[in-house]
Every structure is written in structure tokens, then in C-alpha cells.
Structure 1
Amino acid sequence: MVAVAATVVLVAAGAVVLAVRAETSRLVNLADDRHVGGNCQDATEVLDGLGPLHRFVAGDVVDSSVQGRRACELLLDAVDADGDFEPAGLDDYLAHRGARWAHAGVVRAELLFASNGGGNGSWDAPGRDPEGAVEQLAVTLAAHPEESASVRDAMSTYVGRFEKEWYTEPTVDPGPAGYVEPIDEESLASDACSARDEYLWLHDGGWTEPELAEPIASTDDRGDDLLAGCAQVRQAAGKLDDARSLYAEYLKTYPDAPGAKSVRTVRDELVERIRHEQMRDRAVANANKPADGSNLDACRDARCQVRVKSGTLVPIGGPGGPYELLVWVHDKSVAAQLGGYIRSFSTNGGSIMSGDGYATWGGDQGNELVLNDKVGIGVDGIRGDRATLSVWRAD
């Protein structure tokens, strides 16, 4: 009887051990499932249910959950007060050998695509690292093929930054014949050049994974807009030679693009503007030795550089003329009463006053006046009571 009783006790004890081990395995597996799904709050709560008996009977099973639990704690610590992931904390989680949430790599890439704060940050936002983001997606895809759809979605969202809504059609410049209205930078993609640099890098990456390559290929038709947008930004910033080179690159690379005609017009006007500015720079530099001295008759063909003093009447011929300028020099500026048939006038500075039958223009060195979009007049220099003026054909 004693032997039988002992046997019964041993069988009962064995049954308890088996039951406890089974319960321990169930809880560890449940926590692991929660962790794989990214729900580390539930995973740690499940593991908190493991007590001393579980550890005594199934210590090896409990020990197998330690790395996963530690990784989950890192993931929970990576969440800020607003419920968003902090990049550094997410990096710590991904580097831990117990990390099980495959989608964490996609989340980290999305942060790198935007900025430290997430969202659609500017092209140079602190923490933005698109190269690191694409690399992270490639690593995630290789390790977790089941994340294919998520990787594609993240990449597709990223390349949406290159949509044409960032850019405007090139604005036709009035050219050197008149006042050049500055291109409104607020209407442009102020980051167009940074966007283009990123676009070129992206298309030169050579990624073969369809989840990466296909979204990139969907932007193949946006290179022309990016190039034109960058050229406009350079022009608006006064970097005219850079802008001219970019417009030339556009016309060479995209000669049949829908915007090519407009770009060609802008380029041609810009070339004329650059030539005009070079001409004006030479004239200002030569103001103390004007090409025509005091010979006012040289202005009758609307091509001259002369020195004048107060009370001088300058006769100007040329297209749309004849005109007359009655010049006064004072306080380091020039004032001129205008005569002739003047339908329109424009200036890059100074002031214009007009009324019934009269018009007066005042300007400082470097200021220009254009009459009837045909003839330009510029103040090259002022010295004492004398000024040097240039006249040129602006048609």
C-alpha cells in the first residue's frame, strides 16, 4: 500500500510539474506573440504573470523570455509623452538581439525619411537621412520578407515628396528692356535644388528590390520639373550664371518636355539680362572716363556714354524717339525732366513722378530708366556736380 501511495504522489507531482511547465510555455509564447505584433505593453504584462513556481519548475522556459522582455522594455522606453517613437530609442531596440517586432525597421525608416519629429519635414530637417532610410528598408526586407507591403508603402509615401505640386511653371522674365519683377520665391519650391539633389541620388541608387525600385521608377517623369524649379530658385536668389547653366541643362536633357518652350523663353531672356548687367557693370566701372566725353550728339542714335552737369539738355534718338532729358545733379543723385512722346516707362530704382504733360525721374548710381520699352538710360556715376549717363537700345 505504501508503495502504491508513493507512486500516486509521484504521478500527481509529475502532473503538477507538467501543468506548470505547460502554463509557463503558454505565457512565454503569448508574450512573444504580443511582442512580434509590436504590443510590448501587453507582452510585459503577460510576463509579469510568471511567479516563483514558474521559475522553480520551468526556469529554462522563463530564461528564454529574458532577452525578449529586455527588448520590449527598450521599445516602451522609446515612446515619448505624445506616443511617438524617439529615433535614438528605436535604434537601441533594433540593435538588441531580443527584438522581435519586424515592423520597427519600417517605422525607423519613416522617421529618417521625414525628421526627428516625424511628419513631412523640410528637405534639410534635422535628423533627415533618406539614404539611411532606404538602407534600413532594404535590411528590413531582407530579414523580414513578410514586411514587403509595408516597405513598399513607406517607399511610395516617401517618393510622394517629389510630386509636381512642389514646383511651378517657369515664369517668363521681362528681360533687360525694363524693370525685372523679382520672381516670387514664396510661389516656388524653395527647396527645389535640395529636392533635385536627393532625386538624382535616389535614381542613381541601383536598388533592385521591387518594393524599392518600382516606387522610384514612378517618379521618372519628374526630373524636368525639379530641374526647372531649381533653376528658378537660383535665378530668384540672383545666381544668374548658375540659373543659365541649369536652364541650358534642361533644354539639353529634356528638349521635348512640355515646359521646354517656356524654359527656352526664360533662358533667352536671362541671357539677355546677364549681358545687360555685364554691360552696365562695365559702364559704371568706366564712369570717370565716359566713352563719348561731353559729346551729347553721340546720344542721337541711342548709344552713348556722356558726362553731364546740371541744366544739360540731352537729345536722344533711337527707336520710339526722339526724347529729351533736362538733367539736374545734386545730393549724389540725378533728376531728369523727360520730354518726347512717352507711352510707358519703367525703372529698376529711383522715383518717377508724372502728371498731365510732364514726367520726372530721379535716380542714384546704378539706377536705370526705360522709355517705351525701347531706350534705356542709366546713371553710371556721380562726382560733385557732374554725372555720367549711358543710353542704350533696349528693344
Structure 2
Amino acid sequence: MFKAKKRLNYILKTGVELYDAYLYSKTAQHLTSGQVKTIRKELREIADRQNYKVINFTKFIRPLILPTANRTTYESFSDLSEFNNKKKVVVFMPNHKSHLDEFIIGFKIFTEISSVPITAAGENLFKSKFSAYVLKSYGAFKIRRDKFSSDEHYSRLLYSYLGASIIAGNNIMTFQEGTRPRDGKIGLFRKGIIGSIENLFQVIKANPQQEIDDIYFVPIAINWSENPDEKKMTADREAKAEETDLLTRFLNLKKTHRSKDIRGVYLGFGEPVSYNQFVAEHEPDDTDSYAIGICNEVRSRVVAMMPVFTEHLLYSAVRFLSKFNDSVKVEDVKQLIDITKKNMRNDTNKIKIIETEGYSIESQLELMAQRDIIKFEEDNSGFNVLKPKLIEYYANHVTSLIEERKT
């Protein structure tokens, strides 16, 4: 394993060489010494700063940072030890629910294979020095979504950084939805950097000095009983990335969700998609690429793993009943949840239902009342919905998952 400073210098040096090779292929000219300095500086701005001292330290204080990590339901349909194979490029592809997803997933990967993948993160997350330090220490690299497909120079910089990181032996994690879906559903997995990784693989595989012979695309399903980002997800705003200060983000977690409010997290690792096998069994698209097909296949495996929490069934029942009456009766909620559970368990496309420790319908409704999501009537036999968008967010996860699993 490279030491942090040596590793960074290696990636910057290799990244410059890759950029120079591309330039020479187009212009028959190499970078000047001044251009080399500029490219190196720009690559440094993008690059992660994996710091295993920070990562190892936070292993011990994890219960204080991410208390819900101790209440994680974990499943794996693949052997994570296989991802230490230097001949494979491993690309972890989770769905995206919260800014804290990266840490929950990263901790698990680190525990299983003693390494942390480099992770694509939007520029909006690096606005403060604290955020930038923490994210880059955990392997996050900065990506400009607004320039990725429109700015050839930036695309080539990112391509060169990814190539250098792969050659250095790094695994990659990328959230291909691009942002956290604000409707509670699992978003489309976009081609994005998967196309760049595919192109890099062809170049690296053709180099006899490199041993890499395949790419594993690993589906990861993550879900929260209560999303730490629910306020941002259901606010009246367009679905675009907002500036986020990570320190404020952690502090805000304590204000909006006490530790006991988030009863559970689900984390599932699916069977990886082998690039070589996928190519052998499928046809490329019009651009001779398999990236879109791979993204669709990985997403389908995420959907197949994804469970629902009992908390989500309650939200779904409340949404349905509130369409017919402003006053939702508690007894009706209970009956509808029981019916939904039976139907889901009898369905051929069974969806796993996770019942978290300490959950009951009464306790969940009380929690919703404390958070001003609902307001009880005087006799507590019924309630009114105060935040329909938040109800909709969690309910959509259930209904959309049922629909997708039928197709």
C-alpha cells in the first residue's frame, strides 16, 4: 500500500503522463514544462487524499459520528475478499439516499478488505475546508458535473486522474444516480464516468506491463429507516445539488434526528457484473459502448436486493388513507399495514421487510407527531397530516419498489 504522500505523487505523475499521451495522439506535441505544472495542479485539485490515520482513528469514534452504523442490517451476495484481486478493477455502484451513505459503505468495505475506494463526490460538498479535508481523507475526489460532458479539457483531466488511480491499484465508488433522488424512488443509473472507466480499461488492458484483465461492477443497495437528509429531500426546491458544509451537516443530524430516531440502515452487496462476461453476452450501443447496459444491469440488481422498513409501510398506509379523509384513523393504519405485509409476503417477487428494534406503530406515530409530520386529534384515535411531501417521500419507496419488482 502506498504511503499517502508517495501515493498522491505517483497518481499526479501518472496522470500527467496519461494527459500528455492523449495530447500527443491528437497534436503530435508533448506538454511544455509550464503546461505540466498547470496540469499537475489541476489534477491535485481533483484528487483524493486518502489518509489511513484519519480512517483508522474514526473507526474508534464511529459510534459518536454515525450511531446508526451499529444498527445496520448487512447482506452480501458476493465474496468481498475477491475484490482484493489486483487483476480486477472494482467499481462499487450504490444507490444514493444520504450524504452519509459514503461513510456507512466505506466503513464496511474498509472492515472487509482493509482498503477504501476513491469516491466521486460533487463539487458542492467541498465548500468548507473541514468538509474538503474529511471527504478527501476518506478517498473522495472532486467532480464537476457541469463540465463532465461539455468541457473536453476537464473531461481529459478527470480521465487521466481515474486512469492513474486505477494503475495505482485503487477501487472506485460512484453514485450513478448523480444526486439523491428527491421523490424517494431509486433513480436511473446514468452512464457518467462508467463510460470513462470502460475506455480506460481498454487502454490499460492493451498495455503488456499491466495485469488488469477485467472490471467488476458491484451493486450496492443502501436504505435508511429514516433518512438523515429528509428535510432537504422534501424541501420546496428543484432537484439539484445544494452546497453542503459537512460539519454543519453532522451537527444538524443531531437536531433533526436523535440517534434513536433512526432505528436502522440496510446495506447489501450484490453479485458483481463482470465486464468481460457482459460483453460476451450482450451487444454494444450505437457508440460501441456497454456502459449504459451495465448501468441498467447493476441498477436492476440493486432493486432486486432493496428491502423496505416497517416505518416505510406506515408512511405508505398514511398516504393512501389521507387521500380519502383529512382525519386518518390509527386503527385503519394498523389494518392497512397488516394487509400490505401479507400481500408483500405472498407475492412471488418477495420484498424483504425489516422490522427495526423498538419499532411499533404507536411509537412511530408518536415520533412523527414530535417531528410535526402529523398532529393527533384530542382523543389520539386519529391524526392529520402536516407534511404530505415527507409522507410521499417514504411512501414512494414502497410503491415504486413493488412496481419495479413486478416488471
Provide the TM-score with structure 1 as the length reference. Answer: 0.28
Q: Report 1 or 2 for greater relative contact order, CA contacts < 8 Å, sequence distance ≥ 6.
A: 2
